[in-house]
Amino acid sequence: MTVHWQDDTVIVTVSGELDLVTAPQLSESMELVLGKHPTGVVIDLSKVGFLASAGMSLLASTHQKISGTTGFAVVADGPATGRPLTLVGLDQVFGIFATVDEALAALQAGSS
């Protein structure tokens, strides 16, 4: 997991598996990141090979914790990440994008 700031937006890149074992690590990182009050949060799952329900639950709860003035977007394009998020309806809760650049553009446009 890596954390990168682009202006006031934080990009958290996750790789490997996001499951019951690894979700607490991401949760801990998100608590630290959110404490710095970013204007936007992008969680990049493009390097995730397996996304379990624990990971999806963490994404939903992170979205709920963010204030209305902070944008939230997820990068998930593929059968391992994008498809499960869509199947459970999380694409209706927050923006899911194919690339980090698309997510950043949407946050800047205010359509997160």
Q: Kindly give the confidence (pLDDT) of every residue in the chain, 112 residues in length, as a single tens digit, with 9 standing for 90 and above.
A: 999 999 999 999 999 999 999 999 999 999 999 999 999 999 999 999 999 999 999 999 999 998 778 999 999 988 999 999 999 999 999 999 999 999 999 999 875 4
pLDDT at residue 69, rounded to an integer: 81
Tally of domains in the chain:
1
pLDDT at residue 78, rounded to an integer: 85
pLDDT at residue 102, rounded to an integer: 97
Q: What is the CATH number of the domain that holds 30?
A: 3.30.750.24
Q: CB–CB of 75/43 below 8 Å?
A: yes
Domain that holds residue 67: 2-109
Q: CB–CB of 68/74 below 8 Å?
A: no
The CA distances from residue 112 to 16, 17, 65, 109, in Å, are 25, 25, 15, 8
In degrees to the nearest 10, what's the CA dihedral of 79, 60, 109, 68? 180
| 3-state secondary structure at position 57 | helix
